[in-house]
Amino acid sequence: MTQGFRQEKKKGKIENKFLNNLNNIYEKFMYGEVKSENEQILENIRVAHEDWKNAENYFQNVTDPDLVDHAIFRIEAARTRYTYLLRLAREMGINGDAY
């Protein structure tokens, strides 16, 4: 691995931990409960998959030619996020019905 790739991978893990911690604080404040890291990852995977399906649906229904590029971008972004989360879950040894 190159040093840049390692730094990006480390940065991604730090960002993911930060988001999980922030999500924990929010859930505890709003609902009085905190999900485990595994539950959070599985929930993020479920949401990412739903976003991907919604982006594909948007693409199928867009009628303005100027929005086609936007629709394609949304699909690619949602797919990339979903596959990233799947890879992260596999690396962490998380198994679940979400994927």
Domain layout of the chain by residue ranges: 1-33, 35-99
pLDDT value at residue 6? 54
pLDDT value at residue 10? 55
Distance in Å from the first CA to the final CA of the chain: 28
Any residues with CB less than 8 A from the CB of 30 and at least 6 apart, and which? none
What is the pTM assigned to this prediction? 0.62
Whether the per-residue pLDDT at 83 is higher than 80: the answer is yes
CA-CA distance, 63 to 48, in Å (whole number)?
Answer: 25
CA-CA distance, 42 to 96, in Å (whole number)?
Answer: 7
Summarize pLDDT for 7-62 with one digit per residue, the tens.
Answer: 555 556 667 777 777 776 777 667 766 667 888 899 999 999 999 999 999 999 99
Whether the per-residue pLDDT at 98 is higher than 50: the answer is no
Q: For the residues 55-79, what does the mean pLDDT come to?
A: 95
